[in-house]
Amino acid sequence: MIESLTPSVLIFLALAAFVTAILHSVGGFAGALLMSIVISPVIGVKMAVPLVSVAMVVSHGLRAFVFRNTVDWKIFALIFSVALPFILLGVYTYVGLSEASVGLCLGTVLLITLPLRRYLKNREIVVPKAVIAAVAVPYGFLSGASFGMGLLLGPFILGAGLSGEVLIATLAVQGFMLNLIKAIAFGISPLLGATEIALGIGMGLCTFPGHYIGRKLVRRSSKATHIKVLEAVMVIGALYFISRWFVA
C-alpha cells in the first residue's frame, strides 16, 4: 500500500504518466516499463508493477476499443488461453518477493529487453500456431511479474501472418486483458487497495493526451533519436532497480 499521497506526489504521478506516454508513442515500445522506472523512486519499486498494471488497463483499453474491428480473435484466444495460468503464477511469485528481489527482477528484465529488441527488430520469423502457444508460456509468467514482454510476443505474431492494424489491434486487446488480469490478481493481494486502484485509473487517463502529443512529435522529429533516448532511460532504470538489491 502507498503510505503517503501528498498533492506533490499526485501531481508527480500524473506528470509521469503523461510524459512516459509521450515517450511511448514516439519510441513505440516499453510504455509500462518507462512509467514504472519514473514512479518507482516515489512510490517504491514493488508497488510500481501493480499500480502501472491498473494504469495500463485504461491505456490499452482505449486502443483496444478503437481497433476492436480488426482484432484476430483466434490468435488472441490461443495466446490468452495458454498464458492465463502463467500470468497468475507470475503475479503470485511477484507478491511473495521482497522489495530488493523485485528490483533485481525488473532490472534484469530491462537489461535483457534492450538487446532482445534490437535482435528481433525487422527479423522475419515464420512460425506455426503451435509455436505461438509455446511462446505464450514464458510470455505469461514474465508478464505477470514484470512489463515489456509484448516485445517477446510481437515477432512470433508477425510470423503467423498478422501485420498493420490487425497486429496493433490484437496486441492492444492482449495488453488490455493481460493488465486487467494482473490488476484483479494484485487487487486480491495486499498490494492494491481502493486508493491505489483509483490512482492507477487516474494515471491511465493521463496517458491519453500524452499519446496524442507523442504522435504529433513523431511527424516532426527523428524517431531514431527518440528511441536512443528511450534506451538510455531504460538502462538508467535497470541500474536503479538492480541497485535496490544491494542497498536493501
- State the alpha helices, DSSP H only, in the chain: 7-27, 31-43, 45-66, 73-95, 99-120, 129-145, 150-159, 164-188, 194-220, 223-247
Are 125 and 155 a contacting pair, CB within 8 Å? yes
**What is the residue-level pLDDT of the chain in tens, covering all 248 positions?**
566 778 888 999 999 999 888 877 665 556 787 888 888 888 888 888 889 999 989 988 877 887 788 889 998 999 999 999 999 999 999 888 887 888 888 788 777 767 766 776 666 666 677 888 888 898 888 888 877 677 667 677 777 777 667 777 787 888 889 999 999 998 888 888 888 899 999 999 998 888 778 766 656 666 566 567 667 767 777 787 788 677 65
CA neighbor of 191 nearest in space, from 56, 43, 18, 7: 43
Output DSSP code: residue 72. Answer: -
Torsion angle of the four alpha carbons 199, 202, 206, 208, in this order, in degrees rounded to the nearest 10: 130
The pLDDT assigned to 229 comes to 66
Domain ranges of the chain: 7-247
Which residue bears the cell 511479474?
145
C-alpha cell belonging to residue 24 = 511511448
What is the distance between the alpha carbons of residues 149 and 142, in angstroms, rounded to a whole number?
A: 7
The pLDDT assigned to 14 comes to 93
The pLDDT assigned to 203 comes to 93
Which residue bears the cell 534484469?
108
The pLDDT assigned to 98 comes to 83
What is the distance between the alpha carbons of residues 127 and 197, in angstroms, rounded to a whole number?
A: 38
Q: How far is CA 4 from CA 1, 8, 42, 204, in A?
A: 9, 10, 10, 20
Residues 6 or more apart from 151 whose CB is under 8 A from it? 29, 30, 113, 116, 117, 120
